Amino acid sequence: MINQQQLWDDDAAKRYDTPGEGMFSAEVLGPTVEVLSKLAGDGPAVEFAIGTGRVAIPLSEAGVPVSGIELSHAMIARLRQKVGEARIPVVHGDMTEARAGDNFSLAFLVFNTISNLLTQEEQIRCFQNAARHLAPVGCFVVELWVPQLRSLPPGHGGTVEVSEPGYLLVDTYDVLHQHVISHHVRFGPELSGGRDARIARTPHRYIWPSELDLMARLAGFVLESRWADWDRNEFSAESRTHVSVYRLASH
């Protein structure tokens, strides 16, 4: 089993933030915060795997009280360089069981992080933990990639997902166990004069949208909305990602 504490270490935390670019760009964060703010309404929100505060900080700035759960000490330390505990309290622990309180209007888990849980049982427990945090009819939002197995050629175990100057992303699959390892290869003049490359690997358990819906039902949720992205474009068979909104079923 991969040690997630070692995976998200000091070096990973330092390299995680890319202010104004990529997933930290206004084009990404603006729609994300807009959707989450609307779903939270007048209530507080809790982010599972809060990381360095990429989403939590701008959501807090938008007026939503935010708490978090995070397994990595290094990621929490990076967050604390930006905001204090009084503004965004964070509980150190596993998002399948750690408790940050209750009666939240919104729980959310973004940027594929539920796939960092490497067994189906852990992923179900994550949904159950989200339910424990929520007020009646509160909602749980999950942002996740759609498995791209159609791009996997017969007899091959991997695909090149990104190829750009200085960076390659290669995914290798174990389809029997629904596991994929993302190999991040970075190279260029800034790495030892361009003579070497740096490789990082992140493991995931991929989840089909229908399987995710069943996990939600087991935890007492019903699917309320599903979009292809935070701009709320229609989800289709060609979508590579989805944002799914689950609501606690009323009794």
| Banded model confidence at residue 51, pLDDT cuts 50, 70, 90 | very high
Report which of residues 148 and 119 the model is more confident about: 119
Residue 198 binned pLDDT confidence (cut-offs 50, 70, 90): confident
The CA-CA-CA angle for residues 80, 75, 61, to 5°, reads: 50
**Residue 184 CB partners (closer than 8 Å, separation 6+):** 167, 168, 169, 199, 200, 201, 202
Q: Collapsing DSSP states into helix, strand and coil, what is residue 251?
A: coil
Residue 1 has pLDDT above 50, yes or no: no
Check residues 133 and 251 and name the one with the higher pLDDT.
Answer: 133
Domain range annotation of the chain: 4-146+207-248, 149-204
| Exposed e or buried b per residue across 4-15, where buried means at least 16 C-beta atoms within 10 angstroms of its C-beta | beeebeeebbee
- Which of residues 191 and 54 earns the better pLDDT score? 54
H or E segment to which residue 145 belongs:
strand 134-145
For residues 129-155, give the mean pLDDT. 93
CA dist list (Å): 139 to 176, 211, 229: 32, 18, 17
Alpha helices, DSSP H, located in 81-157: 120-133
User: 4-146+207-248 adopts what CATH topology?
Assistant: Rossmann fold (3.40.50)
Q: Indicate if the pLDDT at residue 66 is higher than 50.
A: yes
What does DSSP assign to residue 49?
S
CA distance 8 to 190: 22
Phi and psi angles of residue 72, each rounded to the nearest 5 degrees, phi first: -90, 120
pLDDT score at 7: 61
